[in-house]
């Protein structure tokens, strides 16, 4: 699982056309405005731009997808099935993927950055909205009337984006907020995933997140996920649930697994590099050398220097 930026999104789409990549990044909003774009799903995904199936990654931008067609959505410990039509509100906080289950797919989707929405004159902070909380069930089933209501908003956005109206980005932000507020009034689709499958996926994702931080290859590399809370937040689940899952699948708590892997890397760095203890401590996420030394001694009964010697 990797972090996918808005630039990575366009690179994947226009891998063979650099000028088109630059056009989309430069013309659809500026650095000051953030970034916004809207797409017709049927024209985009099924016209040779890219495969329709998404990989299970964390995307560093927001995405609202109006989906018509059967799709399977997977995130954290849940799997939900969009049977006919639905809407998905994706946030950088939660890694996910959805996989079409039928050939008949249509709808719209828009992508935007936090910087884009921060310019809203409402003073709204997008991450404080209920629909974008880490524990949110962000996939909603739509009936025919609700789908047409959402589709009309997307069509307005598509039309406005290509206009020369001086305040079009303010209007586009209002359309995004209309989608969000309409979505927050809907009931989320219930998960179809069994407890065993969900636990297995959470455990695998946790180990992948942990191992992706290693090995430490230079003294400027610093691990970002250091505590159980860090991992639970990244996975979009409660820390108690993560602990329960890992206990069931590995026999160890979150902190035992994380600490064990950090100690393992510390031993490697102490034995195989010439870095001083403060450099190793910093790379492993410790602000103070004393904290690292105490941590290492508690885990191994030796100080870092004694272990090295």
Q: Which tokens go with 78? A: 């849940």
Flag whether pLDDT at 90 surpasses 80: yes
> Which of 127, 105, 17, 116 lies closest to 54, judged by CA?
105
Flag whether pLDDT at 29 surpasses 70: no
Long-range CB contacts for residues 289-292, cutoff 8 Å, separation at least 24: 292/266
Which is it for the CA torsion 232, 236, 240, 246, positive or negative?
negative
Higher per-residue confidence, 174 vs 217:
174
Distance CA 157, CA 30 (A): 17
| CATH number of the domain located at residue range(s) 3-184 in this protein | 2.60.120.280
Higher per-residue confidence, 2 vs 285:
285
Domain ranges of the chain: 3-184, 195-308
Which is it for the CA torsion 131, 133, 136, 139, positive or negative?
positive
What pLDDT does residue 306 have? 95
Q: For 121-128, what is the mean pLDDT?
A: 80
Distance CA 22, CA 25 (A): 5
For the stretch 249-292, pLDDT in tens is 899 999 999 999 999 999 999 999 999 999 999 999 999 999 99
> Which position has the token pair 């455990």?
203
Provide the 8-state DSSP code for 4. Answer: E
For the stretch 150-160, pLDDT in tens is 999 999 999 99
Flag whether pLDDT at 123 surpasses 90: no
Provide the 8-state DSSP code for 34. Answer: -
For the stretch 185-211, pLDDT in tens is 988 877 665 555 678 778 888 888 898
Q: What is the reported pTM?
A: 0.65
Q: Return the CATH fold of 195-308.
A: Arc Repressor Mutant, subunit A (1.10.10)
The answer for residues whose C-beta is within 8 angstroms of residue 256's C-beta and 6 or more apart is none
Distance CA 72, CA 192 (A): 10
Q: Which tokens go with 127? A: 């991450």
């Amino acid at each position: 699982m990797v972090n996918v930026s808005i630039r990575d999104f366009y690179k994947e789409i226009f891998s063979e056309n650099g000028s088109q990549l630059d056009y989309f990044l430069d013309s659809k909003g500026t650095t000051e405005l953030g970034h916004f774009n809207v797409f017709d799903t049927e024209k985009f995904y099924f016209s040779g731009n890219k495969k329709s199936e998404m990989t299970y990654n964390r995307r560093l931008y927001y995405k609202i997808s109006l989906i018509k067609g059967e799709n399977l959505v997977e995130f954290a410990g849940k799997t939900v099935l969009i049977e006919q039509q639905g809407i998905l509100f994706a946030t950088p906080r939660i890694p996910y993927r959805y996989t079409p289950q039928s050939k008949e797919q249509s709808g719209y989707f828009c992508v935007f950055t936090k910087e884009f929405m921060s310019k809203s004159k409402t003073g709204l902070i997008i991450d404080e909205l209920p629909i974008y909380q880490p524990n949110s069930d962000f996939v909603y089933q739509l009936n025919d009337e609700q789908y047409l209501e959402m589709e009309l908003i997307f069509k307005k956005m598509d039309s406005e984006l290509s206009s020369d109206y001086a305040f079009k980005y303010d209007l586009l932000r209002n359309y995004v907020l209309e989608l969000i507020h309409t979505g927050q009034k809907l009931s989320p689709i219930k998960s179809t995933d069994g407890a065993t499958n969900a636990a297995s996926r959470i455990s695998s994702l946790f180990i992948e997140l942990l191992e992706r931080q290693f090995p430490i290859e230079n003294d400027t590399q610093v691990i970002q996920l250091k505590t159980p809370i860090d991992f639970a937040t990244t996975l979009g689940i409660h820390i108690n649930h993560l602990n329960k899952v890992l206990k069931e699948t590995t026999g160890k708590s979150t902190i035992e697994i994380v600490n064990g892997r950090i100690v393992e890397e510390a031993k490697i760095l102490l034995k195989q590099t010439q870095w001083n203890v403060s450099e190793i401590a910093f790379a492993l996420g410790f602000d103070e050398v004393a904290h690292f030394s105490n941590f290492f001694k508690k885990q191994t009964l030796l100080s870092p220097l004694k272990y090295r010697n």
